[in-house]
Amino acid sequence: MSSAVIDETNVDIKAAYLSAEDLRLAASLLYQAYHDDPVFLEIFSAEKSDYEQRLRASIREELNAFWHAKQPMIGLYLGETMVGVACLNNPEEGVSSERFWHWRLKMLLGAGYFSTKQMIEKEKVVLASVPLKKFHMLSFIAIHPLHQHHGFGHYLMAAVNTILTEHKDSEGVAVYATSKKYKAFFNDVNYQFIKEVDVGNVSGSLMVYYRDSDNNDNE
């Protein structure tokens, strides 16, 4: 993706890579989006009083790890206001990479040993189920609650798909959807259902967007 991907029919909507100044707002959007996610509710023990504190710490450190490892983080903007964010892992990188050792240490301090271990195990389980050799993993995606149901998710996913033009060896983008709502959304943007994958006591849908999916649909 170039420095910005702009929808020509509405110049007020644009997608661009996040800057360092955007990380705090991106973390806030992701916290709102994943506060009630079944996987995070289990990993960070929602019944405990410090659930929200540990979830915030986890998301903050995840974004810091993405930033320092130069992983793609895309913001969607309406004018100057960020309304969405998406974070991906490049095919060459991942949470299992040695470049993320610093993230693990800070996660241990912020989220606790058990939660950090479960986060790493979740990544391993999901990644091992993807039927591709080289691919991007869509780790996080969020649209601001006040801007949902207005098509912004589709704009954001169009920007995500442009990442593939910069990585010719990537076979596609994988995502783990934990609700019927998310599964329906990803299906609507040409992600194909692969199989159900269990992470702890939570079952979710592994879905993949294959390179040139849109072109294949038009043939």
Average confidence (pLDDT) over 139-164: 89
Q: Domain extents for the chain?
A: 4-218
| CA neighbor of 100 nearest in space, from 128, 72, 126, 63 | 63
Q: What percentage of the chain reaches a pLDDT higher than 90? A: 37
| pLDDT recorded at residue 12 | 84
Q: pTM of the entire structure? A: 0.80
- On the question of pLDDT at 172 being above 80, the answer is yes
Read off the pLDDT band of 21 (50, 70, 90): very high
The neighbouring-strand residues paired with 206 are 176, 195
**Phi (first) and psi of residue 148, to 5 degrees:** -80, 155
Is the pLDDT confidence value at 199 over 70? Answer: yes
Top-confidence range, 1-5, 35-39, 110-114, 213-217? 35-39
- State the amino acid at position 40 in one-letter form: F
Cα–Cα–Cα angle for 199, 97, 19, rounded to 5 degrees: 95
Higher pLDDT, 115 or 174: 174
| pLDDT of res. 218 | 46
Outline where 11-129 has alpha helix (H): 23-34, 38-43, 51-68, 101-111, 113-129
CA-CA-CA-CA torsion sign (64, 1, 3, 22): negative
* CATH T-level topology, domain 4-218: Aminopeptidase (3.40.630)
